[in-house]
Amino acid sequence: MSTSLDIRLKRADKVYREEENITGVIAITTASDLKHDGITLTVEGCVNLQLSSKNVGIIDAFYNSVKPIQLIGVTCEVSGSSRLPAGTTEIPFEVPLKPRANRVLYETYHGVYINISYAIRCDVKRSFLSKDLQKSQQFLVQYWPGRNPGPPPHIKDTNRSVPFKLSPTTLAAGGAGAPDFLLRGQLDGICCSVNRPFTGHVILEKCAAPVRSIELQLVRVETCGCAEGYAREATEIQNIQIGDGDIPTNVDIPIYMVFPRLFTCPTLITTNFKIEFEVNLVIVFHDDHLVTNNFPLILVRE
């Protein structure tokens, strides 16, 4: 490994916002003089959509995957063909982060069917006989706080706490098999900031059978539109236990969950795809009987 190429971004967390400049250095370490035919820097970002095999045939899923939506694609030349001396050469760079026309820079998100990712790539072209050098470095994009693209219209009135009450009578299935119980609780809001924890509390007022566990299940709902209609898929991101074992009655138990980075982003609704989130409150009784209550969430960046 006589030569190596590295891109070092200035920010340790690699998070950038629209219109900010991505700054950093290209570091090339070489044992001997390096002749090259030009160095270029490319900033790329795109949305990758994939259809679930449940909705379309497995072959379709393979072929019909929707074309990626490119959000940004900028290439600039750092240097023409020249010669680099032996040792480490550091070339500082600065690239403005601007979307392509009619596009919005969505937040970085990694899901099952939808991926939004950004990368900065450096290419060192070399003569016919030697291999080209290439290095790609991922970076993250976040919205400016409060500047979410197209927040859902009903955001204003969902910023309040949401009380709820669960008992066999309130169950959709009519409560068959569930023991006699009463669970009260409250969510501090269903319009949440992704960088702040999801909070609230529950109180088990009575319960005939011991509880085994109370859990919060964070679920992403991804919708991809395509020629044949759309596909909606709900998958679990994480499951957090908030009550373990036979919890005491009439004691408030906090609901507290940190939204994982990368796997969550502000709720995103576009013409081609949608990314939404939900929380399930799951009560598992001692006989493995499950009671689930679903709360749709709206995530924003504040």
Partner 1 sequence: MSNAYNIEWKTSTNDTLSAKTKELVGTKTSDHPLKTTTVTERIPRRILGSQPSTGRTTPVSSPSALLEPLSTALEGVDPLTAFAIEEMDPLSKLAAEETDSRSNSDKKSDQRVEVDSWGAKKAAILSKYTTSEKISIVTSFLSDGEKVVVKAQSTAVDKIQHRLEQLDCIDEGSQTKLDLSQTEYVNRIEQLNRELVSAWNSEQRVKSLKIAIQCAKLLADTSVLRFYPSKFVLITDILDVFGQLVYNRLSTKTDSHKLGSKLAKLPEDFTPDMVSDSAKETCLNWFYKIASIRELVPRLYVEMALMKSYYFLSLSECQDALRRLTHMISGIGNPLVAVYARCYLCRVGSSLSNRIKNKQYLLQNFHRFLQSYQHLFSRSVKGELTQQKMSLSVYMSLFTPALDYMLQTVTLDSSDFLLDDLLERCRVHGNSSLILNTIMSAFKPTLISIRTLQFLEMIEHCLDQGIPLHSLLRTLGLCVSVAPPPFEHRRQILNIAWRHIASLKDVEEYIACAEPWVLYVVKYFSHREINTILGDIIEHIAPDRSYEQYYNQLKYIVENIVHNIQDFEALLVMDNFLPLIDLFQEESARVEVCKKILIGSNISVHVVNDPVVVNALMFLCSTLHDSVNALTPDDEYRQIGDILCHVIKVIDYGRDFEQQLTFYVEARGMFSNIDIVFVQLVQCVNALSVKTRQIVKGAHTRKTGDFVRACAAYCFITIPSIKSVKHRLRLYLLSGQVALFNQCLGQADACFKAGVSTISEIQSEKAQFPEAELVPYVKQFLSILLVVPDNPDCSVLNLTRSMLNVLQGYSWDNTASLISIYLSVIDMLSVMAQEWYPYHIDKVESNDSLYGSDKKFIAEINKICSVVISELMSKLQALGPCTKQSSFAVELFVKVAVRNELTNQLLVLALNLWNLAVKDGSLDKRYLIRTKDYLKHKSSSNNTRLQEIVEKME
- Tell which one of 244, 287, 294, 296 touches partner 1 (CB under 8 A): 244
- Reading the block at residue 112, the tokens are 């099952």
Taking CB under 8 A as the rule, does residue 22 contact partner 1? Answer: no
Taking CB under 8 A as the rule, does residue 239 contact partner 1? Answer: yes
Alpha helices in the chain (DSSP H): 58-63
Nearest distance from residue 63's CB to partner 1, in Å?
A: 25
Binding segment for partner 1 (CB under 8 A), chosen from 29-37, 77-85, 99-107, 241-249, is 241-249
- Tell which one of 121, 261, 289, 301 touches partner 1 (CB under 8 A): 261
- Tell which one of 214, 219, 279, 281 touches partner 1 (CB under 8 A): 214
Q: How many residues bind partner 1 (CB under 8 A)?
A: 32
Strand segments, DSSP code E, in 3-150 are 3-9, 15-17, 21-30, 34-36, 38-49, 69-79, 82-84, 87-96, 109-110, 114-125, 133-142
Q: How far apart are CA 97 and CA 120, in angstroms?
A: 11
Q: Are 262 and 109 in contact (CB under 8 A)?
A: yes
The count of other CB atoms within 10 Å of the CB of residue 277 is: 24
Rama region for 58: left / alpha / beta (φ>0; ψ in -120 to 50; rest): alpha
Q: Say which residues have a Cβ less than 8 Å from residue 108's Cβ, sequence separation at least 6.
A: 116, 117, 118, 140, 141, 142, 262, 265
Taking CB under 8 A as the rule, does residue 247 contact partner 1? Answer: yes
Nearest distance from residue 285's CB to partner 1, in Å?
A: 12
If the CB atoms of residues 163 and 260 are measured against partner 1, the closer one turns out to be: 260
Taking CB under 8 A as the rule, does residue 258 contact partner 1? Answer: yes
- Tell which one of 4, 138, 169, 235 touches partner 1 (CB under 8 A): 138
Q: How far apart are CA 84 and CA 107, in angstroms?
A: 37
Binding segment for partner 1 (CB under 8 A), chosen from 27-35, 51-59, 174-182, 251-259, is 251-259
Nearest distance from residue 205's CB to partner 1, in Å?
A: 14
Amino acid 249 reads T
173-212 positions binding partner 1, by CB under 8 A? 210-211
If the CB atoms of residues 14 and 100 are measured against partner 1, the closer one turns out to be: 14
- Tell which one of 33, 132, 180, 246 touches partner 1 (CB under 8 A): 246
Q: How far apart are CA 291 and CA 267, in angstroms?
A: 26
User: What is the contact surface with partner 1 in residues (CB under 8 A)?
Assistant: 11-14, 110, 117, 138, 210-211, 214, 238-249, 251-254, 256-258, 260-262
